[in-house]
Amino acid sequence: MEVIILAGGLGTRLRSVIYDIPKCMAPVCDKPFLHYLLVYLQKYPVKRVILSLGYKHKVVSDWIEEHHFPFEITYSIEDEPLGTGGAIKKAIEKAEESTVLIINGDTFFNIDLNLFYQEHITTSSMLSIALKPMQNFDRYGIVNINQRNQITDFKEKNYYEVGQINGGVYLLNVNSDYFKNVPEKFSFETEVLQPEVKNGQSFGFLHDDYFIDIGIPEDYSKANVDFKILFK
């Protein structure tokens, strides 16, 4: 399994608590958030990790060099912000496998990656998204699927009593056409995911596991409590 971690975020909304470091390096229980993502990946047959970095990337690479992980780690460096789509497109150029797992460097979704991979293969999906069921939320949009798990549409951020959100974990066939005829800088969500729904090759799979997005101070504080139990 080959993994891309999108870790180029500035952490603008966390400036009051993490100051001037990349968001993936935000300390949670005295260790960078990235540490927990890499520990999580060690439970699965991951052979290679591509870290997609941008802002203060040397802070991340210097930390990696001081620690040992049981897989190869390489880097895809953005000289300027490329958006989520541009970051993925650039990182994929370093991919060696035909299918890559993509995760966000500022979220943790504790799904069974072996099960997710099997779901992806069984449906012959070109792009699979792990979906998190939620209740009473307004911070995220929702993703709708049919009985075959094909994604039918994406709804914008609003208040929802119930729905499933994009958990920020993807399996992508590298040889798909998703990145043809796209600009260097673009949003993966709006310029790839949403337009490709009509092709019926994108699937969503529900995984009702622990999910946290540290993008705002409240959830960053929550991670500092929850991870004491999750990673004890």
| CB neighbours of residue 205 within 10 Å | 22
Question: Range with the lowest mean pLDDT among 18-27, 65-74, 212-221?
Answer: 18-27
DSSP-derived secondary structure letter, 180 = T
pTM of the model: 0.94
- How many residues comprise the chain? 232
Show Cβ contacts of residue 96 under 8 Å, excluding neighbours closer than 6 positions: 2, 48
**pLDDT at residue 120, as a whole number:** 97
Instruction: Tell me which DSSP letter residue 182 carries.
Output: -
Q: Do 140 and 41 touch, CB atoms closer than 8 A?
A: no
Domain boundaries, the chain: 2-230
Dihedral pair phi/psi, residue 66, rounded to 5°: -90, -5
The tens digit of pLDDT for each residue in 105-125 reads 999 999 999 999 999 999 999
What one-letter code names the amino acid at 108? F
Segment 55-103, tens digit of pLDDT: 889 999 999 999 999 999 999 999 888 999 999 999 999 999 999 999 9
pLDDT greater at residue 163 or residue 81: 163
Helix ranges (H only) for 22-150 are 33-41, 57-65, 83-92, 113-122
pLDDT reported for residue 18: 66
Query: Hey, how many other C-beta atoms are within 10 angstroms of the C-beta on 225?
Result: 11
What CATH superfamily is the domain 2-230? Answer: Spore Coat Polysaccharide Biosynthesis Protein SpsA; Chain A (3.90.550.10)
